[in-house]
């Protein structure tokens, strides 16, 4: 069993109650350098709090290993504290919006955290929310309370509260660069109108009656497009794979797959989604009979998996510096094969021009909040 497989084994035991393939014997077999690599890998893939929790139940005889675990334990505790700050921040926002009669839908990080046995295990940074088309009013409300919004390249504005990045979405997925996203964004907004107030954010106190989460059908569409977009631009961390696995485990029967599957086809995602299901079958040893997605095993399947196991390094340069954009351009060119899987039929050259223009607009101050 290699380190990545061992990491998956630990996460499966903690998240899926899968004790059939317990790897406790490796506790004695791995070297200190391998342990350090494992924890580093767990951190990079966004599953460090899960791995640390696994070791809290183990008796560690090796004092050097205990020292390594304690070092990473401190880092994992920071993520738990950050979750609490983000939940508090959502409550503050909800209260501000409620005063003005605004409902909000939270999605991505904090909403997905509710799928985990302990929400604090799910690492995330930003708070993403949708105001049911009232995003401009939301900007006005925030700014009246000293929370200044700034433009982003597409699909949301940005602000900061309690040191937390707030993303106020006017679109669920970006519409500027990918025509295949238009059908998804239109449908997600339609779903938000039809069923978007049916799932209360029950993880908050009952006092907050204006906060909702995506329905299972919305998430089945959004999570796959969000994962595929990350795959194209960088890689898929294990955290995202477990988001999808836990979502299917808890909500596969609640999804309107007759509505979702055609959306995968119309948006060109059928191959990508099928590859993800095949990777889950092969490497996580899981199958979902209630999910009518045909697994795809082709020449891209192993390549996608290798991209997960061996992700590209983070851009080491200062954000928005010349060196930063040179690095990003090289990464962009290297990812062309990914683009052909996720956005089949779209021009890669035209996408490059769109990205370049967005960078230029930021540099010369033309990037403005959407009117």
pLDDT over 90 (residue 256): yes
88-189+198-213: CATH topology is: Beta Polymerase; domain 2 (3.30.460)
Question: What does the alpha-carbon distance between residue 120 and residue 113 come to, in Å, rounded to a whole number?
Answer: 7
Residue 334 above 80 pLDDT? no
Reported residue count of the chain is: 371
As a whole number, mean pLDDT of residues 197-214 equals 96
The predicted structure's pLDDT at residue 358: 60
Question: Looking at the whole model, is its pTM more than 0.85?
Answer: yes
At residue 371, does pLDDT exceed 80? no
What is the predicted pLDDT for the residue at 324? 75
pLDDT at residue 293, rounded to an integer: 97
Q: What mean pLDDT value characterizes the chain?
A: 89
- pLDDT confidence of residue 20: 46
Average pLDDT for 119-143: 97
End-to-end CA distance of the chain: 54
Q: Higher pLDDT residue, 2 or 60?
A: 2
Whether pLDDT at 296 is above 70: yes
> Is pLDDT at 210 greater than 90 in this prediction?
yes
Percentage, residues of the chain above pLDDT 90 = 68
- Residue 349 — pLDDT band, cuts 50, 70, 90? low
**pLDDT of res. 98:** 97
What is the per-residue pLDDT for 159?
96
Q: What is the mean pLDDT of residues 253-270?
A: 97
What pLDDT, in 10s, does the model give residues 53-81? Answer: 998 877 777 888 889 899 999 999 998 89
Residue 90, judged by CB atoms within 10 A of its CB (0-12, 13-18, 19+), counts as: buried
Q: What is the pLDDT of residue 326?
A: 75
As a whole number, mean pLDDT of residues 87-114 equals 97
Select the more confidently predicted residue: 195 or 357: 195
Residue 84 has pLDDT above 60, yes or no: yes
What does the domain layout of the chain look like in residue ranges?
Answer: 1-61, 88-189+198-213, 215-311, 318-371
Model confidence pLDDT, tens digit, residues 18-48: 554 455 655 657 788 998 999 999 999 999 9
- Check residue 24 and give its pLDDT: 60
């Amino acid at each position: 069993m290699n380190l990545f497989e061992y990491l998956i084994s630990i996460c499966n035991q903690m998240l899926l109650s899968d004790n059939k393939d317990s790897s406790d014997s490796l506790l004695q077999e791995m070297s200190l350098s391998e342990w350090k690599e494992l924890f580093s890998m767990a951190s990079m893939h966004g599953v460090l709090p899960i791995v640390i929790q696994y070791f809290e139940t183990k008796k560690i005889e090796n004092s050097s290993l205990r020292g390594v675990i304690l070092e990473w334990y401190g880092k994992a505790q920071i993520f738990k504290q950050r979750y609490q700050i983000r939940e508090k921040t959502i409550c503050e926002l909800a209260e501000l919006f409620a005063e003005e009669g605004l409902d909000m839908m939270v999605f991505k990080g904090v909403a997905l955290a509710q799928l985990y046995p302990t929400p604090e295990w799910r690492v995330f940074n930003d708070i993403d929310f949708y105001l049911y088309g009232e995003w401009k009013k939301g900007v006005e409300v925030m700014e009246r309370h000293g929370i200044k919004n700034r433009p982003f390249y597409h699909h949301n504005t940005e602000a900061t509260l309690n040191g937390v990045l707030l993303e106020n979405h006017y679109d669920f997925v970006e519409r500027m660069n990918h025509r295949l996203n238009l059908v998804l964004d239109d449908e997600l907004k339609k779903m938000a109108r039809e069923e978007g107030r049916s799932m209360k954010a029950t993880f908050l106190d009952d006092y907050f009656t204006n906060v909702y989460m995506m329905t299972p059908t919305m998430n089945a569409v959004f999570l796959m497009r969000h994962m595929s977009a990350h795959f194209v631009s960088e890689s898929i961390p294990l955290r995202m794979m477990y988001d999808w696995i836990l979502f299917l485990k808890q909500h596969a029967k609640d999804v309107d797959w007759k509505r979702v599957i055609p959306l995968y086809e119309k948006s060109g995602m059928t191959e990508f989604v099928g590859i993800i299901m095949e990777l889950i079958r092969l490497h996580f040893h899981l199958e979902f009979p209630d999910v009518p997605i045909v697994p795809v095993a082709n020449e891209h399947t192993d390549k996608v998996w290798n991209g997960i196991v061996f992700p590209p390094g983070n851009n080491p340069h200062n954000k928005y510096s010349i060196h930063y954009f040179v690095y990003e351009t090289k990464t962009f060119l290297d990812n062309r094969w990914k683009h052909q899987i996720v956005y089949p039929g779209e021009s890669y050259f035209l996408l490059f021009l769109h990205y370049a223009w967005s960078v230029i607009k930021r540099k010369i101050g033309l990037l403005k909040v959407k009117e």
